[in-house]
Chain A
Amino acid sequence: MSFKPNNNIDFFLHQTRIHLETLIAGIPQLNLQIKNVAGDFSHDQSDILEQIPLTVTFVHNKPVVTLAFCGPSGAGKSTIFNLLTSLNIPAGGAVRPMTHASLAVAPESIASNMPWSQLFPGFDLEAFTANADLRNPSSPADRLFTGCYPASNTSQDFWPCIIDVPDFNTTSVSNWEKADHMLKRADSAIFTVYHESYKSQKTFSILKKVLLLSGSVVYLLTKLDPDQAMQNAREIWGDILQSAEVDPDFQQKRSDGTTLLEFLKKTPFYFSPYVRNPSLTDIKPLSGHNPSIACQIFGQKGLEILLSRQLQAVASGIASSETVCRIAENNKKEVSDLISRINRQIEATAQRITGEEFPVFHILAMIRTLLEENRPAFLKRAFKPLLMLGSGLKSMFNTVKNAIGSISSQDIVSGVLIRNELERTRLQKEVERLLHEWRNTPGLKPLSTETLRNVSDQFLKIELPPVDSEWEKSVFQSLREWQSGNKNLWLWFNVVNDILVLFGTVGFLADFLFGGGMGTLGIVAVIGGSSATGGMLLSLFNNMGLGSQILQAHKSWKNLRQQEYIKHLREHFAGPLFLDELNKIDQGLDAGLINSCTASCEHLKEIIRQNEQTPA
C-alpha cells in the first residue's frame, strides 16, 4: 500500500468528491438513455458509483469499516458471523439457502449513533427485528437489515460493521443480485469457502470480483477433514494460487498497481476443520506469522482499508463510467444521424406534397379588392350594363346550384378545395411511401403494422395545415406598392377584370347547362380553365411588369407551404411514431453531460495517479 492513510484519505475524498458527484448524477441519466436506444444494457455497472460513500463515517473519532462475509452456499458464513458477533442468526444446513437478505451489525456501544444511511447510500435500510426477516425470499435486492452486536472483539483502530450476505450460487437466483449489491459496497471481505466448492466456476468468478473491489480480503476455508486440516489447507491454497496463475483475469491490476494474483498471494489465508460445535479458536491461519482470525479482522488499519477500497471503487467506477460515456457518445452520433436522415426524408416528402398549386386565385382576389378600392368612376359607368348582366347571370346560377346542393361556387373560385383535395391525395401516397421507408430504415425501432396504421390513420384525419395569413398580407402589400407606382397600367387591369367576370359567369353557366351540374368533368374544366386563366394572367402580369411580384409570391408560397408540411409531418406523424422519442433521447444524451462525465473520469484518473506517486 503506497498511501499514508491518516493524511491522505480526507484529501483524497475531498479531491474526488466533486468529480464523483458529477458521475453519480450524470451516469445514471446516460445509462437510462442508452437503455432506451439499446434495450438491455449489459455494461451497466455504474451502481458501484451510487454506493460509493463520499465521506468517511466517523463515530467517536473512529472510522466505521464495513466487513462482509461472502461465499458459496454451505460455507458457514452465517455460523462464523454468529461466532464473531455473538448473535444467533439462522445458520446450518437444514434449509438451503438459509439467508435471503443482507444483515449489517454495528458494535452495541455505537449502535445509537450509527449514521446508517451515510454508511450505506443507495440501500433500503430496515431495523433487524427477528430471524424471519432474513429468511424471507421476497426481500428486494437493495434491502439491508441493520442491527447491533455486543462488542467483545473491539478494534483499536475502527468500528467494525459486520455484514452477512446471501449466497451467490444457489437456485434462488434473486439472491445473486443481493450478494453483488453488497459486494460493491463492502470495504473489506471475508471470503468464506468450503473445501468442496473453492474451485467451482461461480466461486472463482466472485473471488476475482472481491479481489478487484475490496479494500482488504481474508480468505477462509472451512469444513476441512479435522484429521488432516492443516495439510489439506496447504494443498488447497497451493491449488488456488496455481489456478489463479494460469487464469489471465488474475493479471488485472488494482489501483495500487498490484495484480489480482499478487493481491491474492498477500491475502491472509485461514482454515477451519469440520467440527460439531465450532468456535473461533478452531479457525487457524495457514502462515504462522498471521494472528488469530479475530485479531486479523479487527487488527487491520481502518483508514488504510477505507482508502484502498475507495480507490478500487473509484477505479471500477471510472472504468464503467468511461464505457458508458463512450457508448453514449456513439449512441448520440447514431441518434443524431438518424434524426437528420428522418428530417431529410420528411423535407423531400413535403416538397412532393406541396406541388405547384400556386393559388393564383388568391392573387386575383387580392387584385380585385385593389381594383374595387381604386376604380375610376368613368369605368364604372362604361361597364355597368355588362357587369349587371354578369352579376345577374351569376346570382341565378348560384341560386340554381345551391338549390341542388352542389359545391359552393366560392370554393371553386378560390381554388382552395381543389388544392386541398390534391394535397390530401398526395399526402396519402406520401405517407405510405414514408412508412415503407421507415420500416426499412436501419436503427429505427421495429414499427409494427398496427402501430403504423393507427398513427397514419390518425394523422390523415387531422386537418391539413392552413395557409399562413402572413403570406397573404405580404403579397397584398407588395401588390399595393406596385399599384401606387403604376396607375395607368392599373386601368387596363380594370378592363380585363370586368371582361373576365363576364367570361367566368358565362363559362360556369355553360358548364351547368351542358354538364348537368358541377360533376367531375365540371371540376376538371374549372381546374383546366383556371390554370389556363392563371397562366394567361401570369404572362399578362409579366408583360405589365408585375412578374417579379408574382414570381416572388409563388416562391414564397412554395417555401411556406413546404415548411408548413414539414412541421405538420414532424409534429403529427413522425413525432408520435418515434421522432419525439428520438429527440428526447438525443436531448438526454446531452453532449455537455457526456463531456463533463468524461472530464470527471480524466480528473479522477489523474488524482489516482498522483496518489500512487505519493510516497508512503
Chain B
Amino acid sequence: MNRHQLDILLARASKLVEKCELLKNNHSGRALQFNLRESFSFCRNENPLKPLVISLIGGTGVGKSFIFSSLAGTPGISPSSASVRGFTCKPYIAANKSDRAFLPFSDNEAEFLPGFLENAILIDTPDLDTINENNARLAQEAIAASDIIICVTTPDKRSDFSINQNILNWASRKRWFFVMNKLDLVEDVPPEILKNDFSQRLRAIGFSPEPSAMFFISARQADSTDFTRLKNAILASHSQNQSLLLRKEACIRSILYAINSDDTVISINKLLGELKNNLDVLGLRLSAATDSILNSASVRKAAQDALLQNIFITALRRPSFFLFPYFFILSRFYHQTSTATLENVVMDNLGQSPDIHNCFTDECRYLEDHNLPFPGHADNHETFIRTTSQKVSGQIERTAQITGENRMVGFYIFLGNLLPAIVLWQAFYRSISNWIAGIWLPSDFFVHAGFIIMAASIPGYLLLAAALKRLSQSLLPAPAAQHNQQFNHMQHAIEALEKLLHDASLLSSECSAAISELKDRLPENTYGITQSDHL
C-alpha cells in the first residue's frame, strides 16, 4: 500500500461525489455525498508528521483517569475521585510539546502533560454520558481526533446504551482496545461469565473480539497479567511508518464508512429498482395506448389507403405491357401524399390521446416523486409522436415496396396481360397469314383489333386491382412494440444510478481489499481491533 494507491482511491471517491450530484435533492444521494465529503476532509487533514493519538473513553466512574495515571506511572497525574463523578472536566493529554499542535484542543480546553509514549499521544477524556454537555463534547472531539481508542467499562455499565451508541458510531473507523475495569467489585458472578458476556456484546456490534485486544482488570490489582498486557500494548513502540499505515487505513476506512453508513447505497439500490419498475409500467401503458390508436378504425383506414397506393406506385415501376394505360392513368392520381396523410392521421390521433400524454406526464412525476431532476414539461411527448408516425409510415412504405416487388404481383400482371396477348397474337396471326395469302385486311380490322385488345385488358386490370387490395388488407404492419426507450429522462436517471452503484460497489471492494492488505502489517495486540462487519 503506497500513497499512490490511496490517491487513486480518493480520486475514485471524488468522482463518486460528482455522480451524486444527480441525486442532490434526494435524501440518500445527499447523505452519500455528504459522508464522502466528510471522509475527504478527514483524509486531507492528515499530516504525516502527526503522532499516533490514543484516547481512553467511557462512561462516568469507570476508572479512565486511574488507568491513565497508571499507564503514565504517576498516580493521580490525572486526578480522579472515589465519590464525585465527572471529575475530569477537560481532556488530560500526555503529549510532547511539538506534537500538541496536531490536536484540536487549546490550552484552555485541555490539560497538557509531558508525553511518555514514543511517537504517540495519550488522552484521558471526560465522561461520554455525563450531564455536562461541554465535557461530552470534548470527549467526542477527542474520539474524532484519535487513531486508537481504549474503551473502558465496568461490569455494571457494560450494557449502557449511550456508550454502546458511541462505540457503534466510530466502530469501523477506529482501532479499539476494550477494557473492563473493577472486575474485583463483582463477587457474585464468576469472571468467566462476565468475559463471555462482554465478548458476546462486542460480537453483536460487529467486532470479532480478539483476546489480545481485551483486558479484564481491577484498579486494585495493578500488577495483574491483563494490566501488564494493557501497559505493554499501549507503551509498545509505535514506529512512525506504522503510524502512517494506520492513518492510511483510517482514511480508507472513512471512505468505506461513507459508502456503507446510513444505508444510503441500499436506499439508492431500492430507488433504482423502483425506477425500473416505473419505467416498465410506463412502457406497457404507452404500448397499450399506442396499439389501441394504431388499431383504431381511422388509422387503419388511412394505413390501408396508403399501403394500397404505395403498392400501386411500386407495381407501376414494373413493365406492365397491356396494362400500361391503366398504370399511366393511376400514376396521375396516386402519389406520395397518401403516406403524408397517414402520418398526419397518426400524429393527430397520438397527439390527441390523453393516455399517451399522461404517460409522459407520469414520467416527470415519477422522477419528481424520487426527487430526481426532471424537465418542467414532457418534452419527449412530441418526439415520440413524430417518430412513431414516421415509423408507421416508413413501415407502410417498406411493406408496400416489398409487396410491390413480390413475384405474386408479377404473376398477376402476367395474368392480366394474358388475354390481351392472346387477342394480339390472334390479330397478328390473322394479319400475317392473310398477308402471306396476298390478302390485305381492311383497316377497320386493325381498329377493331385495337379496341378488342383494350377491352381484353379490362379483366386483367380488375384482377390485378382486386389482388392488390386483398394483399394490402392482409399486410397491414403491426406497430412497433419497444416503448421503454421513449422515456429518455427516466432512462438517463436509471443509467446514472446504475453507474453510481457500480462505482460505489467497486470502490467499496477495493477499499476492503486495501484494508485486508494492511491488516497483517498492523498487529491487533499493538493497534487494537476494529469492526469487521459494517453494520
Q: Which residues of A contact B (CB under 8 A)?
A: 72-74, 92-97, 169-173, 194-202, 204, 223-225, 228, 231-233, 235-236, 239, 243, 247, 274, 276, 428-429, 432, 439, 446, 448-450, 452-453
Among B59, B130, B160, the one with the most A-chain Cβ atoms within 10 Å of its Cβ is: B160
B130/A201 in contact, CB under 8 A: yes
Residue B82 CB within 8 A of the other chain: yes
* Per-residue contact bits, chain B 74-91, to A (CB 8 Å; 1 contact, 0 not): 000000011111100000
In the complex, which residue of chain A has the Cβ closest to the Cβ of B136? A201
Residue B62 CB within 8 A of the other chain: yes
- Expressed in whole angstroms, the Cα–Cα distance for A235 and B188 within the complex equals 28
- Expressed in whole angstroms, the Cα–Cα distance for A93 and B158 within the complex equals 10
B60/A74 in contact, CB under 8 A: no
B61's contact among A197, A439, A449, by CB below 8 Å, is which?
A197
A239's contact among B84, B159, B278, B357, by CB below 8 Å, is which?
B84
Given known pairs A200-B129, A228-B83, A274-B185, the reply for A169 and B369 (CB within 8 Å) is no
Interface residues in B147-198 by Cβ distance below 8 A to A read: 154-162, 164, 185-189, 193-194, 197
Contacts of B365 in A (CB 8 A): 439, 449, 452
User: Whole-angstrom distance from the CB of A186 to the nearest CB of chain B?
Assistant: 22
Given known pairs A276-B188, A432-B358, the reply for A97 and B159 (CB within 8 Å) is yes
In the complex, which residue of chain B has the Cβ closest to the Cβ of A227? B82
A94/B189 in contact, CB under 8 A: yes
- Expressed in whole angstroms, the Cα–Cα distance for A448 and B365 within the complex equals 8
Contacts of A453 in B (CB 8 A): 358, 362
B156/A428 in contact, CB under 8 A: no
A92/B154 in contact, CB under 8 A: no
B82/A228 in contact, CB under 8 A: yes
A195/B131 in contact, CB under 8 A: no
A247/B162 in contact, CB under 8 A: no
B156/A200 in contact, CB under 8 A: no
B59's contact among A200, A236, A239, A429, by CB below 8 Å, is which?
A200
B154's contact among A196, A236, A450, by CB below 8 Å, is which?
A196
B159/A172 in contact, CB under 8 A: yes
B158/A96 in contact, CB under 8 A: yes
B161/A173 in contact, CB under 8 A: yes
- Expressed in whole angstroms, the Cα–Cα distance for A335 and B281 within the complex equals 34
B160/A201 in contact, CB under 8 A: no
User: Whole-angstrom distance from the CB of A204 to the nearest CB of chain B?
Assistant: 5
- Expressed in whole angstroms, the Cα–Cα distance for A487 and B81 within the complex equals 116
Residue B361 CB within 8 A of the other chain: yes
28 examples of A-B residue contacts, CB within 8 angstroms: A72-B160, A73-B157, A74-B156, A74-B157, A93-B188, A93-B189, A94-B193, A95-B197, A171-B161, A172-B159, A173-B161, A196-B60, A196-B85, A196-B154, A197-B156, A197-B157, A199-B60, A199-B85, A199-B127, A200-B160, A200-B162, A201-B130, A201-B136, A223-B185, A276-B187, A432-B354, A448-B369, A449-B369
Given known pairs A197-B59, A228-B82, A432-B358, the reply for A170 and B161 (CB within 8 Å) is yes
B62's contact among A196, A236, A274, A446, by CB below 8 Å, is which?
A196
A170's contact among B160, B366, B369, by CB below 8 Å, is which?
B160
Given known pairs A204-B131, A432-B361, the reply for A93 and B61 (CB within 8 Å) is no
- Expressed in whole angstroms, the Cα–Cα distance for A231 and B358 within the complex equals 80
Contacts of A224 in B (CB 8 A): 83
Contacts of A247 in B (CB 8 A): 131
Contacts of A170 in B (CB 8 A): 159-161
A232/B158 in contact, CB under 8 A: no
B189/A92 in contact, CB under 8 A: yes
A449/B366 in contact, CB under 8 A: yes
User: Whole-angstrom distance from the CB of A41 to the nearest CB of chain B?
Assistant: 22
Contacts of B81 in A (CB 8 A): 235
A428/B362 in contact, CB under 8 A: no
- Expressed in whole angstroms, the Cα–Cα distance for A198 and B81 within the complex equals 14
Contacts of B162 in A (CB 8 A): 169, 200-202
In the complex, which residue of chain B has the Cβ closest to the Cβ of A198? B85
A428/B354 in contact, CB under 8 A: yes
- Expressed in whole angstroms, the Cα–Cα distance for A172 and B204 within the complex equals 13
Among A228, A239, A449, the one with the most B-chain Cβ atoms within 10 Å of its Cβ is: A449
- Expressed in whole angstroms, the Cα–Cα distance for A74 and B159 within the complex equals 9
- Expressed in whole angstroms, the Cα–Cα distance for A195 and B62 within the complex equals 11
In the complex, which residue of chain B has the Cβ closest to the Cβ of A456? B358
User: Whole-angstrom distance from the CB of B422 to the nearest CB of chain A?
Assistant: 39
A449/B362 in contact, CB under 8 A: yes
A239/B85 in contact, CB under 8 A: yes
In the complex, which residue of chain B has the Cβ closest to the Cβ of A170? B159
A200/B130 in contact, CB under 8 A: yes
Among A93, A173, A247, A446, the one with the most B-chain Cβ atoms within 10 Å of its Cβ is: A93
Contacts of B197 in A (CB 8 A): 94-96
Given known pairs A198-B85, A200-B130, A232-B82, the reply for A169 and B354 (CB within 8 Å) is no
User: Whole-angstrom distance from the CB of A429 to the nearest CB of chain B?
Assistant: 8
Contacts of A74 in B (CB 8 A): 155-157
- Expressed in whole angstroms, the Cα–Cα distance for A50 and B427 within the complex equals 117
In the complex, which residue of chain B has the Cβ closest to the Cβ of A427? B354
B83's contact among A197, A202, A236, A450, by CB below 8 Å, is which?
A236
- Expressed in whole angstroms, the Cα–Cα distance for A73 and B155 within the complex equals 10
Contacts of A200 in B (CB 8 A): 59-60, 127, 129-131, 160, 162
In the complex, which residue of chain B has the Cβ closest to the Cβ of A207? B131
User: Whole-angstrom distance from the CB of A258 to the nearest CB of chain B?
Assistant: 22
B160's contact among A73, A93, A194, A225, by CB below 8 Å, is which?
A73
Contacts of B127 in A (CB 8 A): 199-200
- Expressed in whole angstroms, the Cα–Cα distance for A177 and B162 within the complex equals 16
B60/A202 in contact, CB under 8 A: no
In the complex, which residue of chain B has the Cβ closest to the Cβ of A446? B369
A196's contact among B157, B188, B193, B354, by CB below 8 Å, is which?
B157
Contacts of B84 in A (CB 8 A): 235-236, 239
- Expressed in whole angstroms, the Cα–Cα distance for A506 and B60 within the complex equals 103
Contacts of B189 in A (CB 8 A): 92-94
In the complex, which residue of chain B has the Cβ closest to the Cβ of A429? B354
- Expressed in whole angstroms, the Cα–Cα distance for A197 and B58 within the complex equals 12
In the complex, which residue of chain A has the Cβ closest to the Cβ of B366? A449
- Expressed in whole angstroms, the Cα–Cα distance for A72 and B158 within the complex equals 12
In the complex, which residue of chain A has the Cβ closest to the Cβ of B81? A235
Given known pairs A195-B83, A449-B362, the reply for A73 and B354 (CB within 8 Å) is no
Given known pairs A94-B189, A195-B85, A449-B362, the reply for A171 and B130 (CB within 8 Å) is no
User: Whole-angstrom distance from the CB of B17 to the nearest CB of chain A?
Assistant: 28
Contacts of B157 in A (CB 8 A): 73-74, 196-197
* Per-residue contact bits, chain B 297-330, to A (CB 8 Å; 1 contact, 0 not): 0000000000000000000000000000000000
Contacts of B86 in A (CB 8 A): 199
- Expressed in whole angstroms, the Cα–Cα distance for A232 and B366 within the complex equals 65
User: Whole-angstrom distance from the CB of A462 to the nearest CB of chain B?
Assistant: 16
- Expressed in whole angstroms, the Cα–Cα distance for A53 and B83 within the complex equals 40
* Per-residue contact bits, chain B 47-88, to A (CB 8 Å; 1 contact, 0 not): 000000000000111100000000000000000011111100
